[in-house]
Amino acid sequence: MVLLVLSVAGQVPSFAQVERGQPVRPGGETPATVARADTHAPVEPPEPPSFREFGRGLLRTFGRSLFTPDSLAPLMVGAVGAAAIGPFDLDISARIRDTSNSFGEAGNVAGGTVAMIATTGGLAIASRFTTSRRFRGLAFAFDQAVILETVIVQTTKLAVGRQRPDRSDRWSFPSGHSAGTFTLATVVSHYYGWKWGAPFYGLAGLVALSRIEQGQHWPSDVVAGAAIGVICGRAGIRTTERLGGRERSRAFSIRPYAGLGRVGVQVEVLRGVQ
């Protein structure tokens, strides 16, 4: 996982490559880079937020960036998918479990806590040594998203208390490995397109399968984890673009409401939001 992320970082100069004799504009752009915009060549996005704004960003990520209409589609797909596959959990697990121990172990490491911490820290550190606004935006968005994902996953595990297939504990639902890797894939795909997004989504899918093979999760666990990862990845992206001045105006927002003995959902109509 860490090596794959670093390989993306290694491609950063290609987005701001300076041709011989071309003057450099602020942000690493050259006239040639701008001229190639009409040919679908990657163009550097506006300046992303600094990590000095990380705390402010988290408040938005856990609030407005999470509770938006854009979160509804992956939420519904994940909920329906997990419910649909749930009745077949035993049969699917029986077919996949213990078929390749080396594959299962590789997935356990690739999506594990150590790998996620190393990726999060590595991106933050690497972003300080590159002029690529695209890469710095990716680092900020992922680090925001992975914190949100961790809180949601651990809270849900505690609330649901589902027993793992191997009966080791009651922290099965949802799969944290799946959520973390799908979060990363969502952010990478947004900033670097499907050329890099597809391999990362493929890796996330393999990590999800490895958790079933290891007997650590039911199939419905990994489906739910994947949906959480997509939702959190998008939330981190929205926060990054909002703080960087790129968020599009929303017609309305959706957020939970609790107070004065009432709980519910608050729908807010937004006008003139920049």
The predicted model scores a pTM of 0.77
CA distance 239 to 259: 26
Range of the domain at 174: 51-247
DSSP β-bridge partners for residue 268 = 253
Domain-located, residue 21: no
Domain-located, residue 166: yes
Question: Among 118, 229, 238, 122, which residue's Cα sits nearest to residue 180?
Answer: 229
pLDDT digits (tens, 9 = 90+) for 62-112: 999 999 999 999 999 999 999 999 999 999 999 999 999 899 899 999 999
Please count the structural domains in the chain.
1
Domain-located, residue 30: no
pLDDT digits (tens, 9 = 90+) for 21-51: 444 444 444 444 433 333 344 556 678 899 9
Domain-located, residue 93: yes
129 DSSP assignment: G
Domain-located, residue 56: yes
Domain-located, residue 238: yes
Domain-located, residue 38: no
The pLDDT-based confidence of 130 (bands split at 50, 70, 90) is very high
Domain-located, residue 19: no
> How many angstroms separate the Cα of 255 from the Cα of each of 61, 178, 269?
12, 25, 12
Residue 244's pLDDT is 82
Three-state DSSP class for residue 267 = strand
